[in-house]
Amino acid sequence: MDFLFKFLVIGSAGTGKSCLLHHFIENKFKQESNHTIGVEFGSKVVNVGGRSVKLQIWDTAGQERFRSVTRSYYRGAAGALLVYDITSRETYNALTNWLTDARTLASPNIVILLVGNKKDLEAEREVTFLEASRFAQENELMFLETSALTGENVEEAFLKCSKTILAKIETGELDPERIGSGIQYGDASLRRLNRQQQRRQPDCACKI
């Protein structure tokens, strides 16, 4: 493993956050969604551009019903999926509040992907793709429409967000060593870093 990223899934209750997480981890639709004892946590190793990355994903586990998603939930997340339901304008209107919370309570560098879920319910759509794309652009978010029912774009959403985090590590925009970055080095990266340090050591000896 090269890296471990901490991920969050946020958004109003009923938008399909638990189903998205379930589909990503189990590769199938979650039939009976239990609201009170939701999945709280899941992890999966994915391959992103030749790197093996373990995603550690946190679900609100129903806390959002009581508007009590805690500070500790947000702390130290590298990425987040911000979910609304394309058949519910109310969940779309709530996005600004979720975004404010994420940007103030999580790391300021958190990489956020906007997710319009329930893409399969086209006949009941209340929010157009274009409108949400504009919102995403204005707020510097990536954007995808998904269906946790059919699985469309579910894996892509997690991968797209992970790719952006990796790219930011590579350009130095994100520093995995900063406390609260939500990123940890895996064994493979640590071995590489050690080798680099060992190579550098003779230099240091000369200077002394």
Ligand X SMILES: Nc1nc2c(ncn2[C@@H]2O[C@H](COP(=O)(O)OP(=O)(O)O)[C@@H](O)[C@H]2O)c(=O)[nH]1
By C-beta, is 29 or 185 nearer to ligand X? 29
Q: Does 14 bind ligand X (CB under 6 A)?
A: yes
Q: Give the residue from 53, 59, 74, 73 showing the smallest Cα distance to 184.
A: 53
Residue with tokens 């590298």: 78
Number of residues that bind ligand X (CB under 6 A): 16
| Distances in whole angstroms, Cα of residue 179 to Cα of each of 74, 77, 174, 175, 196 | 14, 11, 11, 9, 22
Cβ 150 vs Cβ 118: under 8 Å:
no
| Region near Mg ion per CB under 5 A, out of 36-44, 108-116, 183-191, 192-200 | 36-44
Cβ 65 vs Cβ 55: under 8 Å:
no
Cβ 39 vs Cβ 59: under 8 Å:
yes
Mark residues 5-34: x for contact with Mg ion by CB under 5 A, - for none: ------------xx----------------
1 binds, among ligand X, Mg ion, none (CB under 5 to 8 A by kind): none
Please report how close the Cβ of residue 14 comes to Mg ion at its closest, in angstroms: 8
Mark residues 115-154: x for contact with ligand X by CB under 6 A, - for none: --xx-xx-------------------------xxx-----
Q: Which of 38, 42, 79, 116 binds Mg ion (CB under 5 A)?
A: 38
Number of residues that bind Mg ion (CB under 5 A): 3
By C-beta, is 38 or 79 nearer to Mg ion? 38
Residue with tokens 């949400």: 132
In angstroms, rounded to a whole number, what is the distance separating the alpha carbons of residues 44 and 158? 10
Strands (E), the chain: 3-11, 41-48, 51-59, 79-85, 111-117, 142-145, 183-185
By C-beta, is 38 or 79 nearer to ligand X? 38
Q: Does 57 bind ligand X (CB under 6 A)?
A: no
User: Residue numbers of the site for ligand X (CB under 6 A)?
Assistant: 13-19, 33, 38, 117-118, 120-121, 147-149
Summarize as ranges the residues that interact with Mg ion (CB under 5 A): 17-18, 38
